[in-house]
Amino acid sequence: MSATHALAPAWQVGQWFNCRQPLKLERMRGRIVVLHAFQMLCPGCVSHGVPLAERVHRQLAGDDLVVVGLHTVFEHHAAMTPVALEAFLHEYQITHPVGVDAHAPGVAIPLTMASYGLRGTPSMVVIDHLGRIRMHEFGKVDELLLGSMLGKLQAEAAAGRENHSA
């Protein structure tokens, strides 16, 4: 697993699903953020990335951890519209928040994908409670290693809260 410990860039999202208001990364400080980038026509995303993110969301999301999907379309743009994404999320029973990565006119690579240096989909980025990138993976993510990383980050966040309140 690669990690940079650099501050995670802000998200540039054109539309949100499964949330009441647009999500902003800077408002999530103090929480661990599991960001998974996917395309709904990507076989690895459909078979592994999206189901893993939804499992993490259903089992671990709460006050200290949030899962956010990023539909980051860099191919087949006409087929993967927000309308099609809404149907996909419904059919696959995806309940975690999902944002549509914004595009600059005439540029195939979406803005957030470019700012995070994502190589493709599926990709997963884990951001710690201080807003730093602690994992940056392309392809299939090992669930045991992800669980271990999330446990470690939750322990670090808890220790930071204890030190701050002492």
Domain-located, residue 27: yes
Q: Please state which of the ranges 4-8, 123-127, 160-164 shows the lowest mean pLDDT.
A: 160-164
Decide if 98 contacts 88 (C-beta within 8 A): no
Domain-located, residue 28: yes
Decide if 103 contacts 69 (C-beta within 8 A): no
Domain-located, residue 4: no
Rounded Cα gap, residues 34 and 109, in angstroms: 21
Asked if the model's pLDDT at residue 161 lies above 80, the reply is no
Q: Which is nearest to 13 in space by CA: 87, 81, 112, 92? A: 112
- Place 58 in a pLDDT band, splitting at 50, 70 and 90: very high
Domain-located, residue 33: yes
Rounded Cα gap, residues 135 and 2, in angstroms: 5
- Region of 84 please: left (phi>0), alpha (psi -120 to 50) or beta: alpha
Q: pTM surpassing 0.85?
A: yes
Domain-located, residue 105: yes
Domain range holding 28? 13-165
* CATH number of the domain to which 151 belongs: 3.40.30.10
Domain-located, residue 118: yes
Domain-located, residue 8: no
Tell me the mean pLDDT in the region 53-71.
Answer: 95
Residue 121 confidence (pLDDT): 96
**φ and ψ at 103, to 5 degrees?**
-115, 150
Q: Which residues pair with 35 in a beta bridge?
A: 68, 125
As for how many domains the chain has, the answer is: 1
Domain-located, residue 2: no
